[in-house]
Chain A
Amino acid sequence: MSATARRAALAAAAVLALAVFGYASASPDYALGQATLVITYAIAGLGLVIVVGHGGQIALGHGALVALGAYTQALLVARGLPPLLALPLAMAAGGAGGALASLPARRLGGLYFGISTLAFALMVEEALVRWESLTRGSAGLGVAAFSVGGWSATAPAAQLGVSAVLLALAWAGCRRLLASRIGRAWRALREDEMAAQACGIAAGPSIALAFTAGGALAGLGGALYAHWIGYLSPEQFGLRFSFELLMLVFIGGARRLAGALWGALVIVALPQLIALARDALPGDTLRSAGVETLLFGALIVAAVLLRPQGLAGGR
């Protein structure tokens, strides 16, 4: 068993443990819902693993690509398209957004490019709020459950199943992509752009491709998120969400696919742990929402300082 496969199995076991723990505790449905959320985050995280870990780019606006997928799926399904047919279109929307956001990459590098993805994300968020005739602005949009033919995934176990199948497909796709010519080109560019270009690898198109693939995965994650949560509003996809995804791959380890699943587990579990810790604190003033933000920020700082290589580690 290779190290990657072992880690993947470990992560799968952890998700399972979460579900079992939930069954044993008061609310099994809640635990299944959390496991579903972990998998949804992991799918979006896979996209960021490609862009950050393999493409070697800083993407500060990945949340906006998730939003594009989520809104595309919600709007198409609301207009009567079967969810299964809408999924590829949501992925296409995310991918197109990624391609668009990567345009400046042809001329910019490093931090400058990261900033341009940030500007892209802020404009998407602004558009989602302002284009009220389409997105209903801050009032939000309801989304029906995922369904195929006459069967619809309303039960938490069914949601988990659908997510797991799609994660497996996405994972297999990523493995193939990273083992292919283009995957090798990304890694070559990440290690040494000059040397890679000397070998005939075109930097601009390769980075654009990484963003398109990453955006498509973000779109898929967003589409599932829309179905499971059942309600979309622009503030779910703000800057903080983009940074949560960034932290997800950082904590999990940006260079491995398994990093996305590990990171997703941590990111989804953190608010629960923080809520537990907060309830243990004495006094009413300490239980405000501010303490939650404070602890979340402190945990980011601690994670970055203590494990600069991420939990999955490795190069």
Chain B
Amino acid sequence: MSAFAQVLASGVATGCVYGLVALSFVLIYKASDTVSFMQGELLMVGAFAAVGLHAAGVPLALAGVLAVLAVALLGAALERLALRRALGQPHLVAVLLTFGFGLVMRGAVASVPAATHEMHRLPLPEQVLVLGGIAFASSHLAVIAATALLVLLLALFFRHTRAGLALRACAEDARVAALMGVPVARMHTLAWALGAGLAAFAGLLLAPISFVHLDMGLVALKAFPAAVLGGLYSLPGALAGGVFIGVAEALAGLALPEGYKDAVPYALLMLALLAFPRGFGGRAA
């Protein structure tokens, strides 16, 4: 029983990371009708930026905030420079553009010798908390708490700020929003910046669970099914999808032979696409 609960807790914690990356997919998809194939690299860059800043002597909390802000700025810059040209073009254009930028980021980090040759870890206190007779890793609980806090902030942003309202209006119908005086181009930039920042934040959360390394962006491939399960249009759906995938994967690791667990998210994705073409909470196109 206690082993089951611990697996569940770690599943929910990883699921939160998947959910955050899925949120970033959905944000970008809603605003600009594109799937970004560089979210994994943004996540990796965010984590490395925090590690680098901390190594340079910046306090840990400040390093995290600065890293997220820097990656958000990077997202905005890429949108301004290139990604806005993909609007209205076939999907292939945006797919290749974001993939290309992903390779550039990956290559840039890989050409720093210290990034490739050593394993990095953010120096966080690692404790075991015992709640109701069940031991939890403090990092898992911290990840869950941080996700909950961030989601609350996002909800407040979308409900109670002008920018949040404008962003929602754009996602609903860009033409009508433009006619009502919403600066649509600026909202696109904001969406990409938020999406990049979210990915970087997910990278920080992943750091205590796994190491900071070049391939940590591969979690984006698992966040992808999460976003689709949630319907690709629904922000709460993306988060729920992420937690669902995380738990399903953790339970598969418990029940299935070694190695099968990594295929579980994709199998779920295929099944979900076949059974619910627009996601569980989705709507007709």
Binding site for B on A (CB under 8 A): 52, 58, 60, 103-104, 107-112, 114-116, 118-120, 122-123, 126-127, 130, 239, 243, 246-247, 250, 254, 285-286, 288-301, 304-305, 308
Greatest chain B CB density within 10 A among A52, A123, A295, A297 is at A297
The 10 closest A-B pairs by CB, nearest first: A297-B103, A294-B107, A290-B110, A290-B111, A293-B107, A300-B100, A297-B104, A301-B100, A107-B277, A126-B263
CB–CB B273/A308 < 8 A = no
Known: A112-B277, A115-B224, A126-B266. A304 touches B104 (CB 8 A): no
Q: A299–B107 Cα gap in the complex (Å)?
A: 13
Check if B180 is an interface residue, CB within 8 A of chain A. no
Residue from the list A108, A114, A116, A299 in contact with B91, Cβ < 8 A: A114
Known: A58-B95, A246-B92. 15 other contacts (CB 8 A): A60-B95, A104-B273, A107-B274, A111-B35, A116-B273, A119-B269, A120-B270, A127-B263, A246-B96, A290-B108, A292-B107, A293-B106, A294-B110, A296-B107, A301-B97
Known: A123-B266, A296-B103. A304 touches B93 (CB 8 A): yes
Chain A residues within 8 Å of B285, by CB: 109
Please encode chain B, from 250 to 285, with 1 for each CB lying within 8 Å of some chain A CB and 0 for all others.
000000000110110011011001100110000001
CB–CB A305/B82 < 8 A = yes
Chain A residues within 8 Å of B228, by CB: 112, 115
Q: A108–B79 Cα gap in the complex (Å)?
A: 28
Check if B185 is an interface residue, CB within 8 A of chain A. no
CB–CB B273/A293 < 8 A = no
Check if B112 is an interface residue, CB within 8 A of chain A. yes
Please encode chain B, from 229 to 258, with 1 for each CB lying within 8 Å of some chain A CB and 0 for all others.
000100000000000000000000000000
* Main SS class of interface, B: helix
CB–CB A297/B106 < 8 A = yes
Chain B residues within 8 Å of A243, by CB: 96, 99
Q: A87–B105 Cα gap in the complex (Å)?
A: 40
CB–CB A104/B96 < 8 A = no
The closest CB in chain B to the CB of A289 belongs to B110
Q: A115–B278 Cα gap in the complex (Å)?
A: 12
Chain A residues within 8 Å of B95, by CB: 58, 60, 114, 246
Check if B109 is an interface residue, CB within 8 A of chain A. yes
Chain B residues within 8 Å of A299, by CB: 100
Known: A112-B277, A250-B92, A290-B111. A119 touches B266 (CB 8 A): yes
Known: A285-B111, A297-B103. A126 touches B277 (CB 8 A): no
A-B contact pairs, 29 of them (CB 8 A): A104-B273, A104-B277, A107-B274, A111-B35, A111-B91, A112-B273, A112-B277, A112-B278, A114-B91, A114-B95, A115-B273, A122-B266, A123-B270, A243-B96, A246-B92, A246-B95, A250-B96, A290-B109, A290-B110, A290-B116, A293-B103, A293-B106, A294-B111, A295-B107, A296-B103, A296-B107, A298-B104, A300-B103, A301-B82
Q: A213–B101 Cα gap in the complex (Å)?
A: 32
Chain A residues within 8 Å of B277, by CB: 104, 107-108, 112
Residue from the list B91, B92, B101, B111 in contact with A297, Cβ < 8 A: B101
CB–CB B110/A108 < 8 A = no
Check if B113 is an interface residue, CB within 8 A of chain A. yes
The closest CB in chain A to the CB of B96 belongs to A304
